[in-house]
A and B are shown apart, each in its own frame.
Chain A
Amino acid sequence: MKESPSPLELTIPVRARDFLAGGDGAARVRQVLQQVGFPPALIRRVAIATYEVEMNMVIHSTGGELRAEITPEVITITARDTGPGIPDIDLAMQEGYSTAPREIQEMGFGAGMGLPNIRRCVDELEIRSTPGQGTTVKIGIYNR
């Protein structure tokens, strides 16, 4: 078997309520995937899922870090924030459920479609959240 090249890793800080830089992480991940030649349909799924987790951190959390680990076989995205956590993950996963305040809705967020979108795009999804401590969303998408 051919030896795999070493994984590419990106670590991107995400600041709460920074709507100017918010989305740059996903854009950067997308750009790297294009540079190394992943198929467009896969890039699209990764880009959408990454953008949704990143903007969730910008909107709903006190900030955190986005990490991407890219190998030819699997793309892993880990979004880890420092709070406030999700009290009921089942509820948050439902389409249409959103706690986004009005001024955020006016910016085009708050459809309550982010987490359901992520689930639709990815092969693996794990959400861990402890109220008061933060949320970690881990996503895996296979190249096959």
Chain B
Amino acid sequence: MQIREIQAILAAEVFTGADKLDLEVEAGFGSDLMSDVLAFARGRVALLTGLTNTHVLHTASMVDAAVVVFVRGKRPDQNLIDAAAGMGLPLLGTRLLMYDSCGRLFQAGLKGCSGEVLAERGTDGEKPVRSTKEKGIPGDKKPAGKNPVDTGAISGEENCVQAASGAIDPESVASGERIPLDKIPRGWKSAGAIGRERASNNEAFPAPAWKVNPAATGEPA
């Protein structure tokens, strides 16, 4: 679905990104809790939310959202609009409530992000959400006490990036204990301090000196 169609279905105002309304959106996601967006958004989503702060823009950027739609008449301030314009992220606003907005888009054929949660597998390189289900409803389990943290490693799953066994040293998570900070867990590669970049808040960052894949960055090697 194009952003333009979303705008029409929700009778939405365009705050910024009027030149990007032809972009395709793969799925929709509605939430006011940004960690849920970070956890479960898949593909180029339209993010529907009632929040209008920088947390929303950062979250949209981290998950590569195609567009943010503010629901229930929420209006972003000019700083937020300018920031989104700088990022090339279109912002829309509708007077419809969250449920109605999502319902209309879903009815028009824009799917949600539950598919992979239900199918219990991830195709995006992130680990499947299966451990969620095994844990049941948040809060229905008693605290694990001083047991080692479950690294979420699941065996025998396709498309599954696993936490290396021993990634979390059980001793080091027993809180209150002093563990020497120079103890480097196995699997870590140490690297020298060459090519160091330092940043204070407004200092300009130099361009990186090397490329993993020059073709992907559109620059010669």
Cβ 8 A contact of B194, one of A6, A19, A51, A119:
A6
Q: Are A37 and B211 CB-contacts (below 8 A) given A90-B144, A113-B39? A: yes
- Interface members, chain A 73-97 (any B CB < 8 Å): 73-74, 76, 85-91, 93-97
User: 0/1 per residue, B119-161, Cβ < 8 Å to A?
Assistant: 0000011110101100100110101111101111000000001
Within 8 Å of chain B (Cβ to Cβ): is A110? yes
Complex: chain B residue closest to A12, CB-CB: B199
The answer to whether B35 touches A111 (Cβ under 8 A) is yes
Q: Which residues of chain A are near B132, meaning CB under 8 Å?
A: 95, 116
Q: Which residues of chain B are near A47, meaning CB under 8 Å?
A: 61-62
Cβ 8 A contact of B143, one of A39, A88, A95, A120:
A88
Within 8 Å of chain A (Cβ to Cβ): is B216? yes
User: 0/1 per residue, A41-57, Cβ < 8 Å to B?
Assistant: 11011011001100100
The answer to whether B124 touches A119 (Cβ under 8 A) is no
Q: Are A107 and B175 CB-contacts (below 8 A) given A8-B195, A72-B212, A97-B138? A: no
Tier of interface size on chain A: 35 or more
The answer to whether B168 touches A125 (Cβ under 8 A) is yes
A100 to chain B, nearest CB (A): 10
Chain A interface mostly:
mixed
Q: Which residues of chain B are near A127, meaning CB under 8 Å?
A: 149, 168, 172-173
- Interface members, chain B 19-44 (any A CB < 8 Å): 32-36, 38-39
The answer to whether A20 touches B54 (Cβ under 8 A) is yes
Stretch in B8-16, B97-105, B107-115, B202-210 touching the partner: B202-210
- Interface members, chain A 10-31 (any B CB < 8 Å): 10-13, 19-24, 26-28, 30
The answer to whether B149 touches A48 (Cβ under 8 A) is no
How far is B64's CA from A34's CA once the two chains are assembled, in angstroms?
Answer: 12
How far is B64's CA from A73's CA once the two chains are assembled, in angstroms?
Answer: 23
The answer to whether B217 touches A37 (Cβ under 8 A) is yes
The answer to whether B189 touches A73 (Cβ under 8 A) is yes
How far is B34's CA from A109's CA once the two chains are assembled, in angstroms?
Answer: 6
Identify the 10 closest CB pairs spanning chains A and B, nearest first: A96-B138, A37-B213, A113-B35, A41-B125, A5-B210, A7-B191, A23-B58, A6-B195, A37-B216, A6-B194
- Chain B residues proximal to chain A, CB less than 8 Å: 32-36, 38-39, 49, 51, 53-56, 58-59, 61-64, 124-127, 129, 131-132, 135, 138-139, 141, 143-147, 149-152, 161-164, 167-169, 172-173, 175-179, 181, 185, 187-189, 191-201, 205, 207-217
